[in-house]
Chains A and B, each alone.
Chain A
Amino acid sequence: MTLAISTICTAISNLNVPGVEIKNLYEVPEAVDERFPTLYPEPSGFVSEFTVTKNSFGTGLTAMMTVTYNLTYTFCFAPVSSERTIFVKWAEMVEKAFRIYDTIIAACPLAGSVETELQNVFEFGPVSDPAGNTFHGCKFIIHVTEFVN
């Protein structure tokens, strides 16, 4: 049994959050299109807290193991400077972010995983896209559990 990172990321990209474009692994934007709220795998530090726990005797091909890791996603809602004042879009971003959280919670466990949990939300406020543009948004972590063998 191989780790299912592609399957899990595809499952995340297939979630339906109205008004949000959710990107897959190979769709990370160099610069987020400011017209469309976008959720994408955070390329800097996407995978973290990777842990392998052996649950039984045997080699890597036969021993039962539990693998856990965190995936970090970035949500860019609207450019900070898109309106006359900075916080015009902020409330909408908060509501949209929580719609994303609701959708993820309802969809767990995601296809390919044994268990997935929305674990942490951070940098809630101004976030940067890969090009350095600042958006109202947030980052959050999805904690993934997989079985090997």
Chain B
Amino acid sequence: MAAQTGRSISRYVRAWGGTAAVAYDLSGDATSVGTLGIEFESQDIKVLNSEVVGAMLGRPTFSLGPINSILTTGAAGVGTFDKQAILQGTLQTMLIAWGMREAPTYGSIAFMGQFHLKSLMGLDTDVTHSLSASYSPTTPAGLNYVNAWGRVTHPLAAETAANTGTTNVVDGGAATTAGGYLVYVLTSINAGTVAISIDDSADGTSYSALSGATSGALSAVGAGLVQLGTTATVRRYTRWQIALAGGASAVTFAIGFVRG
């Protein structure tokens, strides 16, 4: 795993995301990703004759944004307007990655989850028009985890074959037995299908498929979130993996993984 340590600046942040049918890279257009947070409800202190107020203790709300970007449009949905406008009102899977004084790479810290696009506003600024996308704080139904911070298992890049390497891996420090979830963003596939998954290893040399950590066969671009069981064992080292079929020979994707 490339050693990325220390602190960084905003030019090395990347924003990737989409829905089950759409995927995009906002990085070249986005200027900020806003506040990324995990907030737990707390019980308000009430006096004896106050209304009864319930609080869902232990269940966090994940928040993201607003993501501000330069307002652009172009052919084949390449502009920020094109990418965001068609996603209004939908649940989006987002993967925000930080590179430490270089572009995000294997093991870079990342914030990921699913969020509703709450508002999309065009702003007339001094130099150029900008777009501001706000997201609703979301506790995705059925998400069994309280973490949203993890690591990049594969930065957005193209691959043409299954992974047999042992260098571009993520060292988690130790095995964990609390499951986790993966977020994938597939922005390009030339043909056929691809299954995006994660392998794990105890020694960093011998890898096998991490049970349940797979997107399943994907035939088109899209993004999604896949959960493991909350007691699943994830060994110390993880790496990306793809299974190409049906003539697929080139895919571009990003993976992030959050340990439970």
Contact = CB atoms under 8 A, between A and B. Distances in A.
Interface in B1-24: 6-9, 11
B7 A115 contact: no
B236 interface: no
B239 to A, nearest CB: 30
A17 B6 CA distance: 33
A64 B11 contact: no
A109 B6 CA distance: 17
B59 interface: no
Interface residues of B, number: 6
A66 to B, nearest CB: 9
A43 B9 CA distance: 31
Contacts of A145: 9
Contacts, number: 10
Interface in A11-27: none
Contacts of A115: 9, 11
B150 to A, nearest CB: 24
Interface string B98-111: 00010000000000
Q: From DSSP, what is the main secondary structure of chain B's interface residues?
A: loop
A114 interface: yes
A147 interface: yes
A109 B102 CA distance: 10
B11 A147 contact: no
B225 to A, nearest CB: 33
A148 to B, nearest CB: 11
Nearest to B102: A109
B70 to A, nearest CB: 17
Contacts of B11: 109, 115
Nearest to A113: B101
Interface in A32-64: 64
A114 B101 CA distance: 7
B7 A64 contact: yes
Interface string A79-122: 00000000000000000000000000000010000110000000
Interface of A: 64, 109, 114-115, 145, 147
Closest 8 CB pairs of A and B: A115-B9, A114-B9, A114-B101, A147-B7, A64-B7, A147-B6, A115-B11, A145-B9
10 contacts: A64-B7, A109-B11, A114-B8, A114-B9, A114-B101, A115-B9, A115-B11, A145-B9, A147-B6, A147-B7
Given A64-B7, A115-B11, A145-B9, 7 more contacts: A109-B11, A114-B8, A114-B9, A114-B101, A115-B9, A147-B6, A147-B7
